[in-house]
Amino acid sequence: MKVTVIGTGFVGVVSAAVYASFGNQVIGLDIDENKIKLLEKGQVPFYEPDLQELLLEQQAKGKLRFTTSYQEAINEAEIIIIAVGTPSASDGTADLKYVLASAESLAPYLKENAIVVIKSTVPPGTLEKVISVIKEKISTKFYGASLPEFLREGSAVFDTLNPDRIVIGAEDDFVFTKLEELHKTLKAPVVHCKVASAQMAKYTANSYLATRITFINEVANLCEKNGADIEEVIKAIGYDKRIGQHYWYPGLGYGGSCFPKDVKELAAYSRTVGESGNLLNRVDEINKDRIFRLLKKFAEESGGFKDKTIAILGLSFKPNTDDMREAPSTKIIPFLSDKKAKVRSYDPMAKYNPLATDNHQQFSSIEEACENADIIMAVVEWPEIISFDFSKVKNNKKQTFIDCRNQFNPERVKNWQYQYLGIGKR
């Protein structure tokens, strides 16, 4: 099939490369000329495991190419997948300007019976808006659908090749058949549903996961008060099959490009349809406060941050990505600089772009970042960080080790002669 993916960000490049690997003829389209120049040369503009290899392989086979020209990308496409960004507007609602701009740009070139599919995360009602933007420009017969994306950055290629499910929201059998055919290589359950159900499913999944993180963080706060250990609590509750051992991550709160935005957008969407969105409003507020609440607690327990040298290990929002959108480091570093601490950081992939006021320097190894540190904060569970032997960087001062993701055995850290601080445990 001839497929075009509009937007060559994280979702777009991965989707384009994977659909090409299924034997389709795929074009990736973006308005960002620099991105397209890099992609044409076979270079992925961000770090995502296994993507570079897949991209080069599909380009070499002649299955995948990139362009900035709507005419070239849309003219012959049978399936057009919109995967542009949907950031939150100032009132929290999804800002649809990129989605609607791509609808307007693609319209003049749309071929008869083409299917315009929204993969971007958008609220119910958006496909109707896209269809009406296109219909204002042309009278060609075309179809619309929703195909929400559930991949996780850091394992995006694996997730796209091994999805838990494929959700297709549409109204016509023709569309279900074509989109099912597009995914026929995959062995995942396919959910056929209404367009609004598909869009709600995406927001519901992310909002639920964010709520689950917030819930366990609240429980971790209580454990710190009463001497319980959050990891023991998780183990104990996890044997209940209704709850499970998976996806319990007490820590600094959720970040990244999706959870914070999707929680806010679902809460804002609730308000637009006359509901309060109270639970999600609260989840958002609790999560925003969490990192600062913990930083204050860590300061009290370690003797304060002023004039201290602090090593921050992990700058991305999670391991295996260089994405720093809503990453804890982007809040921690300005906070520590403001407290007159000297920050030394390390990340295997992410590059921190310091604010003018940041008292911060990034280094290229854990050893260098930890040099002369009073406090070491293990912020992201990159394998290289959690497997590191911190006895190698122990100096003669009193030092605190802050395990922001509960990845270290407290006894081991204490044996290295650090004061240990974790989450939800004393």
Ligand X SMILES: NC(=O)c1ccc[n+]([C@@H]2O[C@H](COP(=O)([O-])OP(=O)(O)OC[C@H]3O[C@@H](n4cnc5c(N)ncnc54)[C@H](O)[C@@H]3O)[C@@H](O)[C@H]2O)c1
Site residues for ligand X per CB under 6 A = 6-12, 29-32, 35, 83-86, 98, 101-102, 105, 120-121, 149, 151, 153, 257-258
| Calpha distance 89→152 (Å, rounded) | 23
258 counts as catalytic: yes
Whichever of 85 and 255 has its CB closer to ligand X, that residue is 85
Whichever of 30 and 403 has its CB closer to ligand X, that residue is 30
- The answer to whether residues 349 and 326 touch, using CB atoms and an 8 Å cutoff, is no
At closest approach, how far in Å is the CB of 375 from ligand X?
31
Catalytic residue among 193, 223, 258, 404: 258
At closest approach, how far in Å is the CB of 207 from ligand X?
13
At closest approach, how far in Å is the CB of 85 from ligand X?
4
| Calpha distance 59→162 (Å, rounded) | 22
Q: What are the structure tokens assigned to 101, written together?
A: 């701009």
Whichever of 74 and 291 has its CB closer to ligand X, that residue is 74
At closest approach, how far in Å is the CB of 6 from ligand X?
5
At closest approach, how far in Å is the CB of 363 from ligand X?
27
- The answer to whether residues 288 and 271 touch, using CB atoms and an 8 Å cutoff, is no
Whichever of 44 and 234 has its CB closer to ligand X, that residue is 44
| Calpha distance 78→56 (Å, rounded) | 24
Give the sheet arrangement for strand 25-29, strand by strand.
64-67, 25-29, 2-6, 79-82, 114-118, 142-146, 166-169, 190-193
Whichever of 7 and 348 has its CB closer to ligand X, that residue is 7
- The answer to whether residues 168 and 193 touch, using CB atoms and an 8 Å cutoff, is yes
| Calpha distance 178→115 (Å, rounded) | 9
Residue nearest to ligand X (CB): 9
- The answer to whether residues 305 and 336 touch, using CB atoms and an 8 Å cutoff, is yes
Which residues are tagged catalytic? 258
